Copies of this chain bind each other. A is one copy, B any other.
Amino acid sequence: MAVYTEITDDDLAGFLAGYDLGRALSCKGIAEGVENSNYLLRTERGTFILTLYEKRTREEDLPFFLGLMQHLAARGITCPQPVKARDGGALGRIAGRPATIVTFLDGVWVKRPGVSHCRQVGEALAALHDAGADFAIPRANALTVGDWRPLFELSKPRADEVLPGLAAEIEAELDHLEAHWPRDLPRGVIHADLFCDNVFFLGGQLSGLIDFYFACNDFLAYDLAICLNAWCFEPDHAFNATKGRAMLSGYLAKRPLSEAETAALPLLARGSAMRFLLTRLYDWLTTPEGALVKKKDPLEYLRKLRFHRGVASIAAYGLPPEDYAI
């Protein structure tokens, strides 16, 4: 939940004067996104999302994010589109913050995804990877294997408050991941945060993808590993191989995995689990008690990490060998 910056009616009227959207009919802060302030804006021309970028989003990255959304939409991916101001730019400034207006996407995110949702997410992820292939602006992943240990150092002194032995377990896992992380898998633009709340559905059909503010260049199969973690575990922490199979089949129907990607998937899934374990652990230890932002349980991702540690091949994710033979 966000909305950190308050905007006044005067701020808004001044900002909208630079656009061809008519006047504001309403503007309400919405409880979505954790990095930025988002407003649902209705004007005489329609419904939009107004985003104010807070400190954790670097202003120099905004051309990447905005350009990517335009690039993907031009290639058939349904995602929010930056609205251009009268001066042709998509990046403005309101209440002292960089700000954009993007189109509003209909859809509702599913809290308890089923098999069909997982298949569609697999398909959409492959389509996103294809569509992003020729996007020209680069952006390094700021949360990849080399960044995890420095991030962990910030939480390490207090990690065992969350679970006795946690610090040692993370250190051993980091040793393994750093030693074995792949170097030469197919790379491209990845979403890097395609959790359930970033995928909209209408009537059971995937209707759009949102929140590209972690998107970057990295291994495409790592994005798939993130989605397996985000979508295919049950509330009781069991991996649902039927959902895994659906997601992988959906992905493979649009983009085949190489042998190296297939072999690396369990390790990528461990790495993905580590990345979210570490950011959640940090937030868990630093977010004040009672803050309205809902703290996400870091141990959910420790359990996922442990599951993947026991996985020998992609077959454990529900996909029989004949389905992915290259």
User: Hey, which bits of chain A sit against chain B, CB under 8 A?
Assistant: 1, 3-4, 6, 8-10, 12, 23-32, 40, 42, 47, 104-112, 200-203, 287-293
Contacts and interface: CB of A to CB of B under 8 A. Distances in A.
Given A9-B111, A10-B112, A28-B30, A42 B292 contact: no
Contact of A1 (B10, B42, B200, B292): B292
B293 A203 contact: no
Contacts of A112: 8, 10
Contact of A291 (B24, B32, B109, B292): B292
Given A4-B292, A25-B106, 11 more contacts: A3-B31, A8-B111, A8-B112, A10-B111, A26-B105, A26-B108, A29-B30, A42-B106, A287-B290, A288-B288, A288-B290
A203 B23 contact: yes
A75 B303 CA distance: 59
A200 to B, nearest CB: 8
Nearest to A207: B25
Q: In the complex this chain forms, how many copies of it are found?
A: 2
Contact of A12 (B27, B108, B291): B108
A32 B3 CA distance: 11
A108 B32 contact: no
Contact of A31 (B29, B107, B287, B290): B29
Contacts of A106: 25-26, 42
A287 to B, nearest CB: 7
30 contacts: A1-B3, A1-B292, A4-B292, A8-B111, A9-B110, A9-B111, A10-B112, A12-B108, A23-B202, A24-B108, A25-B108, A26-B106, A26-B107, A26-B108, A26-B200, A27-B108, A28-B30, A28-B31, A29-B30, A29-B32, A30-B31, A31-B31, A42-B47, A42-B106, A287-B290, A288-B291, A289-B290, A290-B291, A291-B292, A292-B292
A290 B40 CA distance: 25
Contacts of A31: 1, 3, 28-31
Contacts of A203: 23
A108 B290 contact: no
Given A8-B111, A292-B292, A40 B30 contact: yes
Contacts of A30: 28-31, 40
A111 B12 CA distance: 11
A108 B9 contact: yes
Nearest to A294: B6
Contacts of A28: 30-32, 40
Nearest to A110: B9
A203 B30 CA distance: 23
A148 B183 CA distance: 68
6 closest A-B pairs by beta carbon, nearest first, are: A288-B290, A29-B31, A8-B111, A292-B292, A25-B106, A3-B31
